[in-house]
Amino acid sequence: MPLNVSLVTPSKQVFQMTCDSVNLPGEDGALGVFPGHAPYVGLMGQGVVHTRGSSEKKVLVRGGFVQVIDDQVSILVDEALEPKDIETEQVQRRQTEIEEALKKTSLKLEERDALYRERSWLQACLKNAAL
């Protein structure tokens, strides 16, 4: 019996498909889901959602939630990018801007944390652009 997987952001449905398994970046580490998985609700982290089966899908995601019930996997994330949609030049320019901003000593702690989180996302984008 296959899994039914849907990946949704606040602005669009990224995909809905059946597959044999899906690997997810959970907030506390990687999670593999196969048919018959126990019911589960958890926080999503940053990384790649990878479906396996007759067709494969890889999507870079960050933030959100995952719910598994009766072979239905619902993934709701803050942001999702398919590797083909990552614009490496734009990502590199933004990384340079962040590096310059981090050199400022006048940044508040919250601002610095936000820049570090964005830098981490941009690094993941560059790493996964070639998937």
What pLDDT digit, counting tens, does each position of 33-52 carry?
A: 999 999 999 999 999 999 99
HSE-up of 72 (CA within 13 Å, CB side)?
A: 5
- Express each pLDDT in 56-71 by its tens digit: 999 999 999 999 999 9
